Structure 1
């Protein structure tokens, strides 16, 4: 039973926030736990918004972290539909949009990120979509179904993970798909040029058209609806709907206004936290997309926007709020599903940070593992494509920091565990 001797407030009712609340109770915290969210939906997981739920294969009920009665059963107070508007750190008070003021002993920011918007003429048209929230996915799914029935055209701005997953879903419904991307390959800023061609061919084989080296400069419409998009090289692309997937920005406005330290752009922005996920205020913590955390394994700050970081970061922050010793050093991990290809990526190897890429397996058959190696032979990251039960071994390679002979790394007959 809650004794209200202490109050821990979590700002952000997504996966990280929900798992933090769950962990507070599991670790024996008996004070008040208040979970604040701007959406009216209880906490849900976002990956399927661009994967199974968007494609129509995942039921809506499967998205939620817990069934609604779970929160009351664990005496977790849900304050949904009223966003936080101001943090008074001196008074340890959080102000909500409905006028409520919540005082706290510890506070966790799990506010996530928001899609970067496209600033061109016509971007406000009704047929322009962003994908972050559940209602975004529901609206987009209805649009894709209509495009499929009517042989409609979808234009995607950006060939990142969201863009490619939406492209796969759209082709599943039968829509015609064009992707405009300023870089020379898909996922150029994530995987570098070596793997971009693989993803281009994967989608081209399913009928997706790419327009690389160009940026959208205007969206043309009539009566509020989309008709076409124009690019800076003079091309026009007919379209009945547009999806913008040009990255996401951490939602730090509330933290910045309260004077908390925020990381620079080179560290991904985000609320600056240490390896225990503590901010510049000892009573305030951050986890998930919004946190730029000191990572002991990589020796630098990282801001990771993926599901696994929310899943694991929320509990780590909760333990840190309770005074437990915490060193959050998880190897970054994410997954993607596109058509008949499933993949897992472990590690961190931004373009420019690695020396070369080693392939193990057959990329032509879409069954392989790619390894990003530094000049000293250390494995910085690995991506298994349609090869399963190896993510753990890849993460061990990354964590070991040991140099690995690239010939042995490429040889499928050498077990990963031996490396």
Structure 2
């Protein structure tokens, strides 16, 4: 089939979309690649937005994934600043907001996600370069920022704003931030770091709307702010696929090869695919996965006769103050958490996660990458929980935290 593939369209000028385009060229594909992006910017890296860009440590130019010469070498038909509005799979065409159409023999969907918002007045979100720059210009001493949502994105932004001298209020509806993903005890450790840095962390509170001077809580109280950042999760960008015949359900649904339909593959934050390593469907919003899945989707599209399942061990990291958080695996839905190295109280530890009888994840704070990578290998080979944890019990006890 690779010989008949003459026109590939990639919708999403993202990390995943760029990785797909580069992989096609690296694998010898010489046909047309049309890369479509709704932002005017060339593909750039998003993780630094809530860290280095927001802090003012990086200029906007530094987040670009490739320079102009590298992009030119890919010989792309680059369509920036124009969104995809529809897809006709039988006809093999993508409709764009400017009224034009792009024909394809193969399609890779990499349209990512958009931030969830709250009703009421406008508030900041953190998804695009322009979002980060807009908030950066409004922070500093004497400014009061309310962050709604204490997940990783909200926590990173709160840490940066506090470092810039702003007064920060961090609001979270759950009793313990991130407990659903990392466990209660680990979530408490991460929370206390903010409190020690002077952030006003309030848990168990629900924000109902953004007001002209802050946010309103479910009990009617208004928390005043100069600026409000809403970081309450995201929605996959799949609206443009309505009527396409493809299956959408919290993302574009794919098989283990990242295929969503005839000649249609997906990659990155928008893709919900079956990961055979964990035996479940998942959608991963992490930078490393975007690049790896973009490459996998491109290879499977180009070489259908030699397709390989996409079965990664997901990886993510987060920088908050001087704390480095790293994790491998699939932590959500775990049955038990065990601290297998270090000590929670000291803020330097490795926590392992059990789902069923398997080790499915590991999270580390304050340790070297080499330490956490050892756990990655155990996850990759599908290690049984007892076998994996027994390796570490001689070097310090295991603290188990079963899910209630």
Per-residue deviation, 1:4? 10
- Structure 1 residue matching 2:91: 3-state secondary structure: coil
Q: Could you tell me whether the CA contact under 8 Å between 2:54 and 2:160 is conserved in 1?
A: yes
Q: Secondary structure at the match of 2:338?
A: strand
Runs of 5+ unmatched residues, structure 2: 398-404
8 Å CA contact 2:5, 2:105 repeated in 1: no
Q: Is the 8 A contact 1:360 1:411 kept in 2?
A: no
Q: Which residue does the alignment assign to 2:145?
A: 154
Alignment of 1:207-218 (within 5 A): 207-218=198-209
Q: Does the residue aligned with 1:129 lie in a helix, a strand or coil?
A: coil
Q: Deviations over 1:278-313 (max 9, x none)?
A: 11x221110101111111111111100110110100
> Residue 306 of structure 1 is aligned with which of 271, 281, 286?
286
Asked if 1:229 is matched to 2:215, the reply is yes
Report the equivalent of 1:130: 125
CA apart distance, 1:112: 0.4
TM-score (norm 2): 0.92
Q: Is residue 2:311 matched to residue 1:329?
A: yes
* 3-state SS of 1:20 partner: helix
Normalising by structure 1, what TM-score?
0.89
| Post-superposition offset of 1:220 | 3.0
Following superposition, the deviation at residue 166 of structure 1 comes to 0.4
CA distance in 2 between partners of 1:230 and 1:103 (Å):
48
Pair 1:399-2:399 in alignment: no
After superposition, the Cα gap between the structure-2 partners of 1:359 and 1:118, relative to the gap in structure 1 and judged at 3 Å, is farther
Query: CA separation in 2, counterparts of 1:307 and 1:50?
Result: 13
Deviations 1:60-92 (A, max 9, x none): 222111112322222112110111111111211
CA contact (8 A) 1:21 1:33 kept: yes
1:390 corresponds to 2:371: yes
Q: Distance in 1 between matches of 2:16 and 2:147?
A: 29
Aligned residue among 176, 186, 203 for 1:195: 186
CA distance in 2, matches of 1:362, 1:333: 22
C-alpha separation between the residues in 2 aligned to 1:135 and 1:214?
Answer: 29
CA distance in structure 1 between the partners assigned to 2:51 and 2:203 by the alignment: 24
Residue 411 to residue 67, structure 1, CA distance change in 2 (3 Å): farther
The residue number in structure 2 matching 1:163 is 154
| 1:7 Cα offset (Å) | 0.4
Aligned to 2:134: 139
Measured after TM superposition, the shift of residue 216 of structure 1 is: 1.1
The separation in 2 between residues aligned to 1:49 and 1:213, in whole angstroms, is 27
Q: How does 1:15-414 map to 2 (within 5 A)?
A: 15-119=15-119, 123-125=120-122, 128-144=123-139, 148-149=140-141, 151-221=142-212, 227-263=213-249, 269-279=250-260, 281-323=261-303, 324-351=306-333, 353-374=334-355, 376=357, 378-388=358-368, 389-405=370-386, 406=389, 408-412=391-395
Deviations along 1:148-200, one digit per CA (max 9) or x if unpaired, are: 23x12111111101110000010011001111111011112321312111011
Q: Does structure 1 conserve the Cα–Cα contact (< 8 Å) formed by 2:154 and 2:231?
A: yes
Counterparts of 2:340 and 2:154, CA distance in 1? 25
Q: 1:167 to 1:302 in 2, by over 3 A?
A: same
Give the secondary structure class of the aligned counterpart of 1:314: helix
Contact 1:275–1:293, Cα closer than 8 Å, also in 2:
yes
**Shift in Å, 1:11:** 0.2
Q: 1:218 to 1:74 in 2, by over 3 A?
A: closer
- Separation in 1, partners of 2:173, 2:5: 55
Residue 224 of structure 1: aligned partner: none
Unaligned runs of 5+ in 1: 222-226, 264-268, 415-419
User: How many residues are paired up?
Assistant: 390
For 1:36 and 1:154, locate their aligned partners in 2 and report how far apart those are by CA, in whole Å.
35
| DSSP 3-state at the match of 1:257 | coil
The answer to whether the 8 Å contact 2:5/2:106 transfers is: no
Pairwise CA RMSD: 1.9
SS at match of 2:259: coil
Distance 1:4 1:373, change over 3 A: closer
Distance in 2, matches of 1:71 and 1:163, equals 32
